Structure 1
Amino acid sequence: MKKKVNKTIIHVLLILFAVVQIYPLIWLAGFSLKDNIEIFGGNVAGLPRHWKFENYVSAFTQAKVLEYFINSVLVTAVTIFVVVLLAATSAYAIERMIWRGRQTVMKLILLGLMVPIHAALLPLFMVLKNLHLLNTYLALIIPYVAFGIPMAVYIIASFLSSLPKELEEAAAIDGCGIFGIFFRVIFPLVKPAIATVAIFTYISSWNELMFAVTFISKQEFKTLTVGIMSMVGAYVTKWGEIGAGLVIATVPTILIYLLLSEQVQKSLVAGAVKG
């Protein structure tokens, strides 16, 4: 009986925690289907009295959310691909190959975790300006990759250290070269760690605002976060359209987590067992 009571209490607490976490998403969805009259008329938290699906149409057509969305997808996808490729190869070279100074190189890479993003804003702006890269996709991709690599290398290297080296020895006996061993044997085994890196990199790139505001001023290169911020008017702000833009920006994050959550859990479990 005591175990049943404890289990019931745990379930109730978990349900309450889930409701607290999910409610903001439900509120945002309802908010995006209201107009200013209803929002400022006292119905902020309740369901819409008049479902304004036109807010989504207006967000895509007038507010150019679709253009911002495509820019964010492009920048984020390239960033994730480059971070995963560079971090996986670097972590493999550091963790599985024997060469002088590899631990020193690892420490230098991890020093990147200690660099505040705000401290790098002005130097990056000057470098990108001198290289004529402002108002380009590279103005965002390069800093995102640079700040994403240290954590990615640490995660993948930690996962690689738990794999038996006999796998590589067997592949070498079968005639695989270094690239064959990495891409055919090791890379498929580190999918949980790669999924974790992909999610962390996605969240940091997709939601980033400071670099995007500073390095991008042209309309055609603005990402979704900057585009939604620019929807706030000087005199009139259509909050329902902003809510629609926020929903559009949130849905990909939820979908990506649902697709990769199992791999992330495997990576966390592997790290816990190793620890």
Structure 2
Amino acid sequence: MLLKKLKLSHSMVYVLLCLLLVTQLYPLIWLLLYSFKTNEEILSGHFFSIPSEWKWENYTSAIESGNYFQYLFNSVTVTFSTLIVVIVLSSLAAFAIARFQWKYNKAFLLLFLIGMMIPLQATLLPLMVIFKNLGLLNTRFSMILPYIAFQIPISMFILSAFMKTIPQEIDESAIIDGASVYQIYWNIIIPISIPPVVTVCILSFINVWNEYILASTFVSSEHLKTLPFGVYSFVSQYSANYGSIGAYLVLGALPVILIYFMMAEKITKGMVAGAVKG
């Protein structure tokens, strides 16, 4: 009887995972088919049909007319610059709040948490004035600095919550062995905290890579624009090249997919290592 129940539960889990796989793959397959169609096929309403003629020209148009490589370079520069600073600052702040007892510990944690509640739209005008006075408008810094500010609160919250679960005896043993605060942070806490660090990287990467509002507000130069701007290269006042838009969206998602497959093994190993050391 128990074996039958176990087999039934395994079958249900298998079915649910298959359904989840279908729901996750469907938008990607639909977008891939969409990117090879003509405007007539797209507007006909047959969304999941196979293209009658595979229009590779859509991809050529997406790369050339959409300034793909220039926008890709800008997105990579802005995103990875943001990630480096966010990881360093948020991990240091989380380390200080989670591993030390000091007078304003909870006050600083509350201050970071308040930062999570501020809507992005409410900061556009103040940031515009500040960047104009500092001469930072229409530069990469006008994107990178707000991205860092908006990603640090959630990153610090995730990291501090994890670091609080690490036994204090590890720090005490390291101090007895003569380790400094910085050695404890770099050689002990950070290696144990690999899983939440990877989580922070993924969340920050997705948020910054797809962000459009701040970039469109503070950047107007063509050579500084990021990938989300490229879609508008195929839209005019009276028409739109929907196939090229689909191709551009595929090319825009491609770096994210490649990075996921490159990091999948490291994410798994990091989670196992963190669990063993924790």
TM-score when scaled to structure 2?
0.89
The alignment status of 1:70 with 2:73, answered yes or no, reads: yes
Gaps of 5+ in 2: none
The alignment status of 1:222 with 2:230, answered yes or no, reads: no
In the alignment, the residues of structure 2 paired with residue 108 and residue 78 of structure 1 have an alpha-carbon distance, to the nearest angstrom, of 24
- Asked if 2 retains the 8 angstrom alpha-carbon contact of 1:91 and 1:157, the reply is yes
Matches within 5 A, 1:178-197: 178-197=181-200
- Asked if 2 retains the 8 angstrom alpha-carbon contact of 1:193 and 1:264, the reply is no
The one-letter amino acid of 1:91's match is: A
- Asked if 2 retains the 8 angstrom alpha-carbon contact of 1:195 and 1:264, the reply is no
- Higher mean alpha-carbon deviation, 235-244 vs 143-152, is at 235-244
In structure 2, the residue corresponding to 1:118 is in which secondary structure? helix
TM-score when scaled to structure 1?
0.90
- Fraction of identical pairs, as percent: 41
Query: How far is the alpha carbon of 1:79 from its aligned partner?
Result: 0.7
- Higher mean alpha-carbon deviation, 130-139 vs 226-235, is at 226-235
In the alignment, the residues of structure 1 paired with residue 201 and residue 144 of structure 2 have an alpha-carbon distance, to the nearest angstrom, of 15
Residues 1:99 and 1:6: Cα distance change in structure 2 (over 3 Å): closer
The alignment status of 1:117 with 2:110, answered yes or no, reads: no
Name the structure 1 match of 2:47.
44
CA RMSD, Structure 1 to Structure 2 (Å): 2.3
The alignment status of 1:159 with 2:162, answered yes or no, reads: yes
- Asked if 1 retains the 8 angstrom alpha-carbon contact of 2:62 and 2:68, the reply is yes
In the alignment, the residues of structure 1 paired with residue 186 and residue 26 of structure 2 have an alpha-carbon distance, to the nearest angstrom, of 42
After superposition, give the CA deviation of every residue in 1:228-247 in whole Å (9 maximum; x if it has no partner). Answer: 23432223321111111111
Count the aligned residue pairs. 270
After superposition, give the CA deviation of every residue in 1:210-263 in whole Å (9 maximum; x if it has no partner). Answer: 111111111111111122234322233211111111111212223334425845
In the alignment, the residues of structure 1 paired with residue 85 and residue 269 of structure 2 have an alpha-carbon distance, to the nearest angstrom, of 19
Residues 1:225 and 1:40: Cα distance change in structure 2 (over 3 Å): same
- Asked if 2 retains the 8 angstrom alpha-carbon contact of 1:196 and 1:264, the reply is no
Name the structure 1 match of 2:98.
95
In the alignment, the residues of structure 1 paired with residue 264 and residue 152 of structure 2 have an alpha-carbon distance, to the nearest angstrom, of 20
In the alignment, the residues of structure 1 paired with residue 15 and residue 139 of structure 2 have an alpha-carbon distance, to the nearest angstrom, of 50
- Asked if 2 retains the 8 angstrom alpha-carbon contact of 1:196 and 1:263, the reply is no
- Higher mean alpha-carbon deviation, 247-256 vs 237-246, is at 247-256
In structure 1, the residue corresponding to 2:234 is in which secondary structure? coil
Residues 1:24 and 1:78: Cα distance change in structure 2 (over 3 Å): same
The one-letter amino acid of 1:104's match is: A
- Asked if 1 retains the 8 angstrom alpha-carbon contact of 2:86 and 2:152, the reply is yes
Gaps of 5+ in 1: none
In the alignment, the residues of structure 2 paired with residue 260 and residue 147 of structure 1 have an alpha-carbon distance, to the nearest angstrom, of 26
Query: How far is the alpha carbon of 1:33 from its aligned partner?
Result: 1.4
**Which contiguous aligned blocks of 4+ residues in structure 1 show a shift greater than 6 angstroms?**
none
Matches within 5 A, 1:163-174: 163-174=166-177
In structure 2, the residue corresponding to 1:114 is in which secondary structure? coil
Name the structure 2 match of 1:28.
31
In the alignment, the residues of structure 1 paired with residue 244 and residue 11 of structure 2 have an alpha-carbon distance, to the nearest angstrom, of 42
After superposition, give the CA deviation of every residue in 1:59-82 in whole Å (9 maximum; x if it has no partner). Answer: 112220111111111111011111
Query: How far is the alpha carbon of 1:122 from its aligned partner?
Result: 1.4
Query: How far is the alpha carbon of 1:135 from its aligned partner?
Result: 1.0
